Amino acid sequence: MVLEYDGSCFSGWQRQREGTTIQGEVESGLSKILSKDVNLISSGRTDAGVHARYQVANFKTDKTVSPADIKKALNSILSSDIRIKSAQRVSLDFHARYSVKSKVYRYNIFTGEFISPFKARYFWHLPLDLDFYKMNKELKYILGKHDFINFQAKGSSVKGTERTVSKAFLKKDGNYCSVFIEADGFLYKMVRFLIGTLVEVGRGKFEPKRLKALLQSESGLRRGPTAPARGLFLWEVKY
């Protein structure tokens, strides 16, 4: 299944004992439809407040219900913050997480004086004079294979911290700015740390090549703040 969701009111993707999660809501809906507990496997977890335009999840069932009927039934049960965009049968060896070749994240920034309440949930509002040219140039330093350990939050159980970034660029339209990053994988809060550091370069708080220095430094060098979750979208998953 391909899902999209507004993560504003959820405690992230992953099912938890407390708090409402996207995985928990979808699994609950599937259990009602299939009259059986369902274990949903996703392409990856999104944190509390993070959105998705294209999240992928798969599950196994022995029920003879068509994907189209599952999609229709789920969309009639789920809150309007979650929608199933498409559903289809796949081979038994498909794994929503381990079959992923790359993922694309998008981060939205708005630099105007005030932001519309209809957009505030999806942008980091920074009423500042950011140097977008400098920021776009800075992004080239994360291209390729690097150790992103300095851009990983504490509490992660991931063993390897090397990731390969294939694309990283910025698009600007007036006061609206979006940063796109595609990689073969992402560490816990990696994108939000990258964006926070990038903004500090754009506002002149950090000198250029800060991202490069952080990728080459084992420790001691300060990164930027954690960018708010509301501006982050899981934009695409590629198989």
pLDDT of residue 217: 82
Residue 17: per-residue pLDDT: 87
Distance of CA 177 to the CA centre of its chain: 17
Q: What is the pTM of this model?
A: 0.94
Which one of 6, 37, 47, 69 is the catalytic residue? 47
Share of the chain above pLDDT 70, in %: 99
pLDDT in tens, 30-67: 999 999 999 999 999 999 999 999 999 999 999 889 99
Residue 93 falls in the annotated catalytic set:
no
Q: How many Å apart are CA 100 and CA 185, to the nearest integer? A: 9
Please state the rounded mean pLDDT for residues 71-88: 97
Q: 103-138 pLDDT, tens per residue? A: 999 999 999 999 999 999 999 999 999 999 999 999
- Full set of structural domains in the chain with CATH: 2-86 (3.30.70.580), 102-238 (3.30.70.660)
For residues 30 and 40, is the Cβ–Cβ distance under 8 A?
yes
**What's the mean pLDDT in 170-192?**
97
- In a 3-state reduction of DSSP, which class is residue 136? helix
Model pLDDT, residue 117: 95
* pLDDT given for residue 100 in this prediction: 97
pLDDT band at 219; cut points 50, 70, 90: low
